Structures are given as C-alpha cells and as structure tokens.
Amino acid sequence: MKKCLGNNFGLKLLSVFVAILIWLMVVNVDDPEKTKAFVIPEQRIQMTNVEEAQAKAEQDQDGKKVYSVVRDDDESGNVTVYVTARRSVLDKLTSADITVSANMQNMTLQDTVPYEVTVPGVKRENVQCFPVAMRFVLEDKSEKTYAISLSTSGQPASGYELGDVKIREGENIIIAGPTSITKTIDKVEVQVDVSNMSENKTVTGSVVITDRNGNNLSKTQMDSLEIKTSSGALIKDNEVNAVVTLWKVQQNIRLKVDTSQIQVADGYILTSVDLTPSTINLAGSEATLEALNGELVIEGIINSTGATSTIEQNIDLSDYLQDHYKKALKLESGSATAVSVRIQIEKVGTTTVSVPVSDFTIIGQAEDMKIVLTPADKVPVEVRKEDDNAAAITAKDISVTMDLSNYQNEGNYTVELQVELPDGYALESVPSIKVNLEKIQPVTETETETTEE
C-alpha cells in the first residue's frame, strides 16, 4: 500500500499544483479583485468626543477659542471611500454598510483628525479614503440668544386640528461656537411632526439652524456649536420637547351676520340675509366651541346708513377669526375662507324674488358663441304689488326671457331681461345680467382624427 502511494509521487504533486493553479485562474476570471468608490455624505460622518475636545480647547485658551472645521472652497464635506475586494464582495456592499468616524481625541499637532473607516468583511489595509482627515482651526468663540421659530409638518388625525405648540425648554435658545459660524446664523427653528396625532402629547422637536443664505447648517457645523436653553442647560442631539395641543373639529356650525349697524332709508326695509356657505366646520378649545352653541355670529363687519338697495359683501373668515378669536378658534383645514353675504333691502310695498337662471328662456343666441352668465345661479327681480288681493308671488310665477339678438360678437355685455309677471304685480326696476360671449373654436379634421385614435 505504501509503495502504491509512493509511486509517481512527483507526478501526483505536480497534479495537485496544477489543480490549484487552475482553481486560482478560474476564481480570478469569474470573481476578480476590483476597487470600487463609495461616497459617504457628511451627515453620516460620526464625530466623537467633540464636547471633550472643545472643553479642553476652552480650558487651554481661557474660554476664548473653540475648534471649527476648515475646508477648501471646493470641498463638500463628503468622504469618498475606496474599497478593494472580490467582485462578489463589492456587489453586496453599499455605502450604508460603511462607517466613517472622526474621534476628536485623536487630533494631531497639525489640528487634524484622521478618519476611521470600517467596512464589514474587508481588511483595513484594503480600504482607503479621501480626504484622509478632518481639519480644524482654533478661532474666537461667540455666544448669542435667539428667539425660536416653530414649524410643523403633517396633519393631525381626521377630526382634529393643531391648536398650539409650545417648547417646554422655553421660547429662546442660546448658541455658542466659532464666530465664523455664529455670525452667519439667521434663524433658529424647531420642527415638529404632528402627523396622525389624535391627542395632546409632548413630542420631540428638532432644532434646525439656517444661515443668511437660507441654507441649513451642515451636520459638521452643528456639531461645532453648543446649544443651550435660556437657563443654560445643554440641549443634546439638537432636540427639544414640544407640547402639542389639539382641537376637535365641530361640524355644521351655523353662520349669521350682525345687521344692527345697517340703517335703511325711510320707506325701505331689510327683508332677508343670505350667507354662502351657511354652515362651516370650526376647530377650537372646548370652552370656545361650547360658548358658540353651534352658531357663529359675524359682528362689526357690515354697516350702512340710508341704505336703499341690496348690500353684497365678501368676508374673509380666516382674518375675522384671527382678529376676534385670536388663537382660540380656526377653520378646519381645507375649508374655503370666503363668505358671501347678501342683505336684501326693499322699498316698502315691493318684493324681490330670486329667479333661477336655469329657468330663463334664451333667444337670438349665435350658434358659434358660448355664453357665460354672471350671476350664474339666480337673478333678483324686484316687483311691486298693485292689487291687494293678488296671491303671494314666487319664482315659478315669473317668466324671464334673455334676448341676445343684438349681441352677436365676442365681448362682455350687460343685457336687460324681459319679465312677464302675473296679474296684480308690476316691475319696480328692470333686472339685468352680465353676459360674456366667446367664439366656439371649430374642431379641425386633425383634432377629430386624434380623438378617434
């Protein structure tokens, strides 16, 4: 047996060597070693022991100097990592797998901190990065107090509106850091997400600092700052506590308008008040909604002396609520803010009847003209009762004809209407309507073919 194993030993050893060589050739052909670049954005670069390094710098410089990052004009703050490995390894690797950090305790005499790069499954000697280090400089330290601006994102759950947001740590914030950064600060904002909230709660808000160019400070710049409350307590991770108060939405609140400041002329009376919309959905504190008792009266907006004709006015309800209820009441999100008010004033002995435009008889309309009417819904017809025994009049008793025979060209016109009334009534004034005539563009043969296709 030993003799068999020993036979042709050199040949057998050569066979093993050839097999290994062939295997290496196959591996190198099918799974070659390559180098691939991965860009790690600045916000993912981890800086550690920053507070300790800044504290030491302040101690060494009597509290007058702090570290700030130095970059050339063409540097973005990103780090490019070059990884050399088998293609099978690189294909599975993403930038999210790579960790880049800068430990401030490793600062050199040249005020640079080498980047430490970790790539899972790859040896350190097969990883390079550019730039190789983060550069710092000692510069003057400054400190200033800023007012906090609040911004919210998202919408509360259905049936709720955002009532109020307050920062538990206070309305002001103190920022200390390198003068090159602090002098560029324009606004300090706390961003709070209220998406799908359905109850009052305290949530975390992120501190975002914007420079005078409207750009948010980078992560590296933020890391160079010391952010404190107005009482001097350090704010960690750039986060504060926001107390969010929600309001329930009450639907179908009736709208009314106060007419006490309208004085009509002698011989006239106020006959009706119409509001469009007539109901709205409001959100407010529980006490405010309870006090409304299902009705919002618009006061102090409409006034007139010696009125002899119908008063029409639009009211911006959003502005009205802000002026009269401050922060205790608001419209439901997405609601129209305009309220149209029509106050009918009639001469004693007359009646105004609103006749639907859809009931008009239109004659003389040019076939190649499209018409748009204003108003598009109803036109008021003022009539006078001449027979005390005549029955009450309604819109169905009135026949209105709009004759467009003299209006055959494009343009805007005011057209007097022809009105027929039942016995016992006469017109007090001739009603009219605004008409816009627009030529109908003929459909070309090409357009027709395109439609059919």
Measure the CA–CA gap between 353 and 340, rounded to whole angstroms.
19
Q: pLDDT tens digits, residue range 410-436?
A: 999 999 999 999 999 999 889 999 999
Q: Is 293 exposed, middle or buried (0-12, 13-18, 19+ CB in 10 A)?
A: exposed
Q: Is the pLDDT of residue 409 over 80?
A: yes
List strands edge to edge, sheet with 350-356. 350-356, 378-385, 425-427
What is the mean predicted confidence (pLDDT) over 187-202? Answer: 93
Q: pLDDT tens digits, residue range 147-191?
A: 999 999 999 999 999 998 999 999 999 999 899 899 999 999 999
Q: Is the pLDDT of residue 449 over 50?
A: no
Q: pLDDT tens digits, residue range 81-112?
A: 999 999 889 999 999 999 999 998 998 888 89
Q: Is the pLDDT of residue 43 over 90?
A: no
Strand locations in 168-277 (E): 172-178, 185-193, 201-211, 226-229, 239-257, 262-264, 268-276
Confidence of residue 246 (pLDDT cuts 50, 70, 90): very high
Q: What angle do CA 160, 163, 164 make, to 5 degrees?
A: 145
pTM of the shown model: 0.59
What is the mean predicted confidence (pLDDT) over 396-401? Answer: 94
- Residue 450 C-beta-side C-alpha neighbours within 13 Å: 5
List the structure tokens of 404. Answer: 């467009």
Q: Which residues are registered as beta bridge partners of 330?
A: 283
- Residue 137 C-beta-side C-alpha neighbours within 13 Å: 10
Helix (H) or strand (E) segment spanning residue 301: none
What is the mean predicted confidence (pLDDT) over 336-362? Answer: 90
> Quick one: pLDDT at residue 19?
64
Q: Is 123 exposed, middle or buried (0-12, 13-18, 19+ CB in 10 A)?
A: exposed
Between strands 185-193 and 239-257, the pairing is unpaired
Q: Is the pLDDT of residue 23 over 70?
A: no
